[in-house]
Amino acid sequence: MIVYDNRNIYKLKANNSKIGDPMAIEGKKGKQIAILTGGGDAPGLNAVIRAIVVKAKNLGYDTLGILDGWKGLLDCKEHCSTNLDLDKVEDIHMLGGTILHTSRTNPYQIKGGPEQVKANLKKFNCDFLIAIGGEDTLGVANKLHKEGINVVGVPKTIDNDLSETDYTFGFNTAITRAAEAIENLHTTAKSHHRIIVVEVMGRHAGWMTLEAGLAGGASVILVPEEPFDIEEIITIINNREKKGKFYTIIAVSEGATPKKGAMELQKQEKDAFGHVRLGGIAQALSEEIERRTGKECRYVVLGHLQRAGDPTVFDRVLGTRLGIKAAEMIDNKEFGMMAALQGTEIVPVKLDKAVGTLKTVPKSRIDEAKTFYEV
């Protein structure tokens, strides 16, 4: 029996079941589903994996976990897969991270990559694949589907920027962490009469900053969708002081930019999907405000703390429901589709539409947040 312990479960699982066992390629031909998790980890991934394994078993399928995302289906010699049985996924829905591990590998950036993926799926006796990921992972899944792979997608990202689904799992946990941090920063900001700029993840979508900023009581919320006006920020800070509020918390998206001229990015290097690694806006903004106002400023970069740790109840349930649906979709031969949350229902949608355009924050939501601006 596996004792649930969120610090040691990965080790326990690995010891008990030989994660990465090179022999883990068995399965009834035509009845085995490969599962992989790609891109940045998001709390709720293990809930999806568990639900797929249990539902697939009920439908008569075996499941094979591919380790390290698409990387596990590329140069696959050993330690790239693991048979997923019921015992291996017991209680893992409560656990953050992904027991299958992940990478940002892109098979389409590697010569012969897609062919290797197809050959390895065949070698593993997997006629079906469930890819759990964001726009990058699902973009690859969509291309592979067009090349004949029987693939179903599950939307994952803390950024909540995938189209065709109201929410992605991971987002709720990440905004809960970020909101808590923003809320807590009030006591120290108030005590020292300081301005604190908090940098929130989310890449080019401001969902996380908007919702965490609203919930955590930020006085200014800056998102990538609307370049910010530094003068307006200074006005808010001054107006707050006139009302006796000698502190201000500013929530800023890592992808936010000022109206005139972009501020410096910390690193310009790109990943395999061509994304620049964002960061540095909180420091740049805090220094700029200090320079213009002479007031004491500090900045905090929440970084990976936002997606670390165990999922919230919302993400456990959403991940579980998406996983069940994905297994059903394999059984219904709904390939080239993604399980999505629309309203309260989990429905199949076309991968083509889901990865076509990023879902960004509409102006109406940005204006809502401005209700609380002291301009």
Which residues are catalytically annotated?
Answer: 159
Does residue 278 interact with ligand F6P by CB under 6 A?
A: yes
Tell the residue number behind the tokens 């998790």, with chain if given. 37
Find the binder of ligand F6P among 203, 316, 321, 325 (CB under 6 A): 203
Sign of CA dihedral 233, 235, 239, 245: positive
Q: Which residue number is nearest to ligand F6P in terms of Cβ?
A: 201
User: Is 32 or 157 the residue whose CB approaches ligand F6P more closely?
Assistant: 157
Nearest alpha-carbon partner for 212 in 339, 302, 322, 95: 302
Residues 80-139 that bind ligand F6P (CB under 6 A): 134
Find the binder of ligand F6P among 27, 72, 202, 336 (CB under 6 A): 202
Does residue 307 interact with ligand F6P by CB under 6 A?
A: yes
**Burial annotation 202-219 (CB, 10 A radius, 16+ → b, else e):** bbbbbbbbbbbbbebebb
Cβ atoms of 271 and 188 closer than 8 Å: no
To ligand F6P, the closest distance from the beta carbon of 71 in angstroms equals 14
Tell the residue number behind the tokens 């009834």, with chain if given. 28
Find the part of the chain contacting ligand F6P (CB under 6 A) among 47-55, 64-72, 195-203, 360-368. Answer: 195-203
Nearest alpha-carbon partner for 208 in 42, 346, 341: 42
Does residue 209 interact with ligand F6P by CB under 6 A?
A: no
User: Is 42 or 84 the residue whose CB approaches ligand F6P more closely?
Assistant: 42
Residues 25-64 that bind ligand F6P (CB under 6 A): 40
Does residue 68 interact with ligand F6P by CB under 6 A?
A: no
User: How far is the C-alpha of 246 from the C-alpha of 66, rounded, in Å?
Assistant: 53
User: How far is the C-alpha of 209 from the C-alpha of 202, rounded, in Å?
Assistant: 8
User: Is 24 or 179 the residue whose CB approaches ligand F6P more closely?
Assistant: 179
Binding site for ligand F6P (CB under 6 A): 40, 134, 157-159, 201-203, 254, 278, 307
